């Protein structure tokens, strides 16, 4: 099992919040999102995200 953190931005509104998306890859399977959190190092959002960004995990799966 491999865990990876991806640093991205949410573009669902004008705030463009920074995201930390954690994925897990288990043997012989596609990557699966396990968490979406605000990026505390993002200059603008400073770790805060709205419910739309949190819902991205459900939309993806």
pLDDT in tens, 5-37: 999 999 888 889 999 999 999 888 888 999 999
pLDDT at 61: 64
The closest alpha carbon to 23, from 13, 36, 33, 14, belongs to 33
8: its two tokens: 């991205």
Q: What CATH number did the domain enclosing 26 receive?
A: 3.30.200.210
Q: How many CB atoms lie within 10 A of CB 51?
A: 6
Q: Which residues are within 8 A (CB) of 55 and not within 5 positions of it... i.e. 6 or more apart?
A: none
5 sits in the region (left: phi over 0; alpha: psi -120 to 50; else beta) called beta
Where in the sequence is the domain holding 51, given as residue range(s)? 2-60
Considering only residues 1 and 18, tell me which one the structure prediction assigns the higher pLDDT.
18
Q: Is the pLDDT confidence value at 58 over 70?
A: yes
């Amino acid at each position: 099992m491999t865990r990876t953190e991806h640093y991205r931005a949410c573009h669902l509104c004008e705030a463009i919040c920074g995201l930390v998306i954690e994925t897990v890859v288990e043997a012989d399977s596609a990557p699966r999102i396990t968490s979406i959190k605000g990026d505390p190092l993002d200059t603008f959002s400073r770790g805060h995200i709205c419910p739309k960004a949190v819902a991205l995990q459900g939309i993806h799966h």
